[in-house]
């Protein structure tokens, strides 16, 4: 006989936060922010998922600095104004009985692009003329996402440290806005993923080289965010658990990283697979999560 009370619809508690069920609305870009500021779109769109019964509702990828956005329409949290604009969103989610999560993100070398309906590629002169000017993108090295794309600025050690501080400041603002959960975005070919993967991180300093060096940026961000995020609030990490390339990041690397993240106060890993370009596939890397003994399972509306 069917289970009268499926696990998906039972409550789950992580630290001091209890979700009414395990249905999680994953971060999904809306391209509707104004200079990173949440708009009426977000105030209606996100609480509607809570109204529909989801247990946890996440914002889209929310940039910790202006140049960390994928497009000009992405959410940001690099100032107190951004946090203030998110307060009504959180209130709406809470009003319908769900937990509110915010995903801290940096697009790295995949930033400075068009909204999907404008081409979903590099920003052009035509985009600049209507107010969407391109900006300098950053990464672990100068290697561009594609050969025809502009060169990337390779982050210096001081700039890396400043980005760790930016993630920590984002956590502070998320707390001020009332969020219950933070997720750090380390997947899909964005900045943190490019530090983790040997396909994209060819640095020869403390933030590159062997696996320990390539994990350093991710671990320092986790430590910085956890210091600012209250002990009773959960911390998630979204991870591309395998690069699907023989010379790339492997599931065994994810198991090691998961254990290190757990030791630094990370509670849940959303494990997915990505190809070399960072495009994601709907594959949950359950083995990495289970072998690191993280709580679960949680359901999810997969990000597109």
- Which tens digit of pLDDT belongs to each residue from 52-65? 999 999 999 999 99
Enumerate the H helices of 56-115 as residue ranges.
Answer: 80-95
Q: What is the distance, to the nearest Å, from the Cα of residue 265 to the centroid of all Cα atoms in its chain?
A: 17
**Which residues are within 8 A (CB) of 10 and not within 5 positions of it... i.e. 6 or more apart?**
21, 22
User: 10 Å Cβ neighbour count for 88?
Assistant: 17
pLDDT tier, 244 (very low <50, low <70, confident <90, very high otherwise) = confident
- In sequence order, what E strands does the chain have? 12-14, 17-19, 24-25, 56-63, 99-105, 138-139, 153-154, 181-186, 235-242, 268-274, 280-284
Tens-digit pLDDT profile for residues 161-209: 999 999 999 999 999 999 999 999 999 999 999 999 999 999 999 999 9
269 burial class (0-12, 13-18, 19+ CB within 10 angstroms)? Answer: buried
> Using CA atoms, how far apart are residues 126 and 133, in angstroms rounded to an integer?
9
Is 190 a catalytic site residue? yes
What would the two tokens of residue 270 be?
């959303």
pLDDT of residue 180: 98
Mean pLDDT of 220-249: 96
CATH number of 22-165+173-246+254-291: 3.20.20.70
Structure confidence at residue 44 (pLDDT): 97
Q: What pLDDT does residue 2 have?
A: 67
Catalytic, out of 190, 207, 229, 294: 190
CA neighbor of 196 nearest in space, from 178, 222, 175: 222
What letter would DSSP give residue 180?
A: S
Question: Domain spans of the chain?
Answer: 22-165+173-246+254-291
Mean pLDDT of the 141-160 span: 95
To which residue do tokens 């999904």 refer?
28
């Amino acid at each position: 006989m069917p289970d009268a009370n499926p696990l998906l619809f039972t409550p789950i508690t992580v630290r001091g936060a209890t979700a009414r069920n395990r249905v999680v609305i994953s971060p999904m870009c809306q391209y509707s922010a104004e200079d990173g500021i949440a708009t009426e779109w977000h105030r209606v769109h996100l609480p509607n998922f809570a109204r529909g019964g989801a247990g946890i509702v996440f914002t889209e990828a929310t940039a910790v600095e202006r140049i960390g956005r994928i497009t000009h329409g992405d959410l940001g949290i690099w100032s107190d104004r951004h946090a203030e604009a998110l307060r009504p969103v959180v209130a709406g989610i809470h009003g319908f009985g769900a937990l509110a999560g915010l995903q801290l993100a940096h697009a790295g070398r995949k930033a400075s692009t068009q909204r999907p309906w404008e081409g979903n590629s590099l920003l052009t002169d035509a985009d600049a003329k209507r107010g969407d000017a391109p900006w300098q993108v950053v990464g672990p090295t100068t290697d561009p996402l594609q050969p025809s794309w502009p060169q990337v600025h390779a982050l210096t050690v001081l700039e890396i440290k400043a980005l760790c501080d930016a993630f920590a400041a984002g956590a502070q603002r998320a707390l001020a806005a009332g969020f219950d959960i933070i997720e750090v975005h380390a997947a899909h070919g964005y900045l943190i993923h490019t530090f983790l993967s040997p396909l994209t991180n060819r640095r020869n300093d403390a933030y590159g080289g062997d696996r320990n060096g390539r994990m350093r940026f991710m671990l320092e961000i986790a430590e910085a965010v956890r210091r600012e995020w209250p002990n009773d609030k959960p911390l998630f990490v979204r991870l591309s658990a395998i690069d699907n390339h023989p010379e790339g990041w492997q599931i065994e690397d994810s198991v090691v990283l998961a254990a290190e993240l757990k030791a630094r106060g990370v509670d849940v890993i959303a494990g997915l697979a990505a190809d070399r370009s960072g495009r994601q596939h709907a594959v949950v890397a359950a083995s990495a999560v289970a072998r690191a003994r993280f709580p679960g399972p949680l359901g999810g509306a997969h990000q597109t």
